Amino acid sequence: MKDSKIPPKNKKHFFGKREKVKHMRMSSVLLIGYRNIAINKTRSFLTIGGVSIGIGIITFLISIGFGVQAMVIREVTKNNPTEIIDVSNENLENFVVLNKETIDKIQKFPDVRSVEINSNIGGKFINGAAQTDAILYGVTPGYLKLSNISIENISFENFSTSDGIIVTPKLATLLGFEKAQDAVGKEVEYNAVVAKEILDTTIDNSEDGQAGKKFKILGIVNDQSKSDAVYAYTMFETLKNNYHINAGQRGKILIGNIEKIDFVRSQIEQLGFVTESVIDTVTDINSFFSIVRIVLIVFGTIIMSISAMGMMNTLSVSLLQRTKEVGILKALGAKRTDIFKMFIFEAILISFSGGAIGLLGGYGVAKGLNTLINFISKRYGIPAADFVMVPNVFIVAIVTFIVVLGISTGLFPARRASKIHALEALRYE
């Protein structure tokens, strides 16, 4: 009886701390999950293909959507920087002009760097027997630069110190010149009709209203967006000296701090002017594309819901086919967490593979379409444009979604597999 007693030193072994539970190696869990995908090639291919098609369609639409939005905003802001406010006197309730008094008030507003004005008069250009009606714009030197107007045959600096004019190619043609460049250096006459609101009332203008003035053509306005436009530019000081003009109807105001633009606009509008900014257009563009993105998100959610159901069906069928295998693994010592990890890994692997293929494929198709359209456009002389863009936040969102998709679709089959009893699994089939 003494021999049958448990020695005191061994009691700790039987009744002390429990031995640490040993789990399957992670490499074994991953290998088993991968092996199941490799064995069922057709089923795995169709499941991964469904996920990749869903992610690919979403990536294609999103990349085109963001790309077109960025392209439109680039075109809109190319000649209209966001820090510029366009001012006009188109307010019918209160007619005001940009004279010295109003310009001084505007320049006192916070973060206003410069105020450039544009005064226009109507009239008729005459060159021998050829004559045509056209508007002559008198601008300050900074106005042309803020407008990003391109001039040929003369620099901005030389034009800003001259008393000549620059004309559009169409105006040069209407004045009888075979080529626009032939007009450079020639003198033409201009009979103007000047509005009383912009005249200097301290000077007698009775003889100057319809008087013909000679102007030398110094250059050509290179405005490809308005090939049929008929107008000319000269310096504001030139109009002032020739027609006694002391105010402008339009202007451009350069802001130092874009965050102050709304405040400055409200102050200018209180003076009676109408203000415009490219920010208004950009806001409208962003609002439109926000609606488009909502539609794409709804469309993508439907597609991915179908893909998720396909994945869950695949994993459920896989569980039914591997019930006996699960029982054997448990009989050999596999724990519930090992079985759970095995099915979760399989779901994530399917989701990640499909997501990676879909992301690269969708972006590749979009870039291919972009290249094809640019190739065709080049043949017709249309400038190339890049309308494909995938924001970094979208890539992060897709990667996150892929992981969530894998975990969520594999969660139910994995929990179900981990709860299978070894004896019941071995009796299965």
Read off the pLDDT of residues 120-137 as tens digits, 9 standing for 90 and up: 888 899 998 898 999 999
Identity of the highest mean pLDDT range in 43-47, 50-54, 286-290: 286-290
Residue 119 pairs in a beta bridge with 138
Cα–Cα distance between 122 and 231 in angstroms, integer? 10
Bigger pLDDT: 57 vs 16 = 57
155-174 mean pLDDT: 90
Highest mean pLDDT among 95-104, 169-178, 272-281: 169-178
- Determine contact, residues 117/98, Cβ cutoff 8 Å: yes
pTM of the model: 0.63
pLDDT of residue 422: 60
User: Between 220 and 330, whose confidence is greater?
Assistant: 220
Placement of tokens 């106005």 in the chain:
143
Are the C-beta atoms of residues 403 and 345 closer than 8 Å to each other?
Answer: no
Spatial separation of the C-alpha atoms in residues 136 and 119, rounded to whole Å: 8
Percent of the chain at pLDDT exceeding 70: 79
Q: What is the mean pLDDT of residues 4-9?
A: 48
| Helix H or strand E segment including 231 | strand 231-235
Angle of helix 41-78 versus helix 26-39 axis, rounded to 10:
100
pLDDT of 298-314, one tens digit each?
Answer: 887 787 777 777 777 77
Contact indicator for 359, 398 with CB cutoff of 8 Å: yes
Instruction: Place 425 in a pLDDT band, splitting at 50, 70 and 90.
Output: low
Predicted local distance difference test score (pLDDT) of residue 345: 80
Q: Which of 44-58, 102-116, 212-226 has the highest mean pLDDT?
A: 102-116
* pLDDT at residue 344, rounded to an integer: 80
Residues comprising the chain, all counted = 429
In angstroms, the CA 89 to CA 162 distance is 28
* Residue 124 half-sphere exposure toward CB, CA atoms < 13 A: 12
**What does the pLDDT read at residue 57?**
87
Q: Which residue has the higher pLDDT, 382 or 389?
A: 389
Q: Residue 91 has what pLDDT?
A: 62
Per the listing, tokens 């208004």 go with: 280
What's the rounded Cα separation, in Å, for the pair 301 and 295?
10
Give pLDDT, residue 233: 94
